[in-house]
Amino acid sequence: MSLPAPRIPGRPLVLGHRGASRDAPENTLAAFHLAMAQGADGFELDVWRCASGEPVVIHDATATRTAGAPLQVVRQPLSRLKQLDAGAWKGPGHRGQRIPTLAEVLAAFPRAVVNVELKSDGLGDPRLAAAVARLAAAPGAEERVLVSSFDYALLAAFRLLAPRVPVGLLFARSQRWELRQSLGAALRPAAVHPERTLATDARVAAWRSRGLAVNVWTVDDPAEVERLARAGAEGIICNAPGEARRAVERALGR
């Protein structure tokens, strides 16, 4: 049986979406450090398995957008990916940021809640599930790691390999999300991760009544953050954690 999803009593977790990605280059150590400095409880990140086997933290299937190199992540060894600059696209002050591995992130932030999204091109890599399972199930990690994916087959592979680590069902408005939610129930999820437009007060209440943590993405409107905090959402995934944290405190009268 899995552990419950990470929670903080009395208020929602504030998780930086790929770190503090409004102000720093997404999915880099700089973005994760800034998220924590702004008051986040942790952050969401994305992982692919590179050619040498390590789970690396990057959102896209290629390094084109965030590292300026038209390379497929899954076909490059870590040594090649580490040569890329993952920060320069965000501005000259961010030059020199590298694509981190998941192991590096977990080691650098031993107290942060980390939502790991397993990435897939539709042909989910079971070796990615296995590599992340080894890291997420390590002592000191399984209590603060939550693993999610839009690829439920990949999530099922992870669930079998790390049964104690909680998983979350990701779904978006553009998908047949109600069907996905029903199919995903077989994974015994600890959480649901709906796109913000799906997280009405009534749905938040219904999910919570089933014992599910509700972690909503991506929420950058302070008024929406306040509404979700009052509705009882367990997590707010956002690009500007400092603003979200202040909105949570306003909503709860702190």
Q: Is residue 244 part of a domain?
A: yes
Q: 62: which strand partners?
A: 72
pLDDT band with cut points at 50, 70 and 90 for residue 184:
confident
Which has more confidence, 185 or 93?
93
pLDDT tens figures, 46-61? 999 999 999 999 999 9
Q: Is residue 175 part of a domain?
A: yes
Its domain, for residue 205, covers 13-47+114-251
* CATH number, residue 122: 3.20.20.190
Q: Is residue 8 part of a domain?
A: no
Would the pLDDT of 152 be above 80? yes
**What is the rounded CA–CA span in Å between residue 134 and residue 206?**
33
Helix (H) or strand (E) holding 24: none
Would the pLDDT of 183 be above 80? no
Q: Is residue 7 part of a domain?
A: no
Q: Is residue 109 part of a domain?
A: no
Determine the pLDDT at residue 181: 84
pLDDT tens figures, 16-33? 999 999 999 999 999 999
Structurally, how many domains does the chain consist of? Answer: 1
User: What mean pLDDT comes out for the span 186-194?
Assistant: 95
Determine the pLDDT at residue 46: 98
Spot the catalytic one: 33, 59, 94, 193: 59
Determine the pLDDT at residue 41: 98
Determine the pLDDT at residue 241: 98
Would the pLDDT of 173 be above 80? yes
**What is the rounded CA–CA span in Å between residue 86 and residue 55?**
16
pLDDT tens figures, 83-132? 999 999 999 999 999 999 999 999 999 999 999 999 998 877 999 999 99
Global confidence as pTM: 0.97
**What is the rounded CA–CA span in Å between residue 233 and residue 138?**
28
Is 59 noted as a catalytic residue in this protein?
A: yes
Cβ atoms of residues 215 and 15 within 8 Å: yes
**What is the rounded CA–CA span in Å between residue 71 and residue 139?**
34
Is 17 noted as a catalytic residue in this protein?
A: yes
Q: Is residue 103 part of a domain?
A: no
**What is the rounded CA–CA span in Å between residue 211 and residue 79?**
43
Q: Is residue 153 part of a domain?
A: yes
Q: Is residue 87 part of a domain?
A: no
Cβ atoms of residues 131 and 147 within 8 Å: no
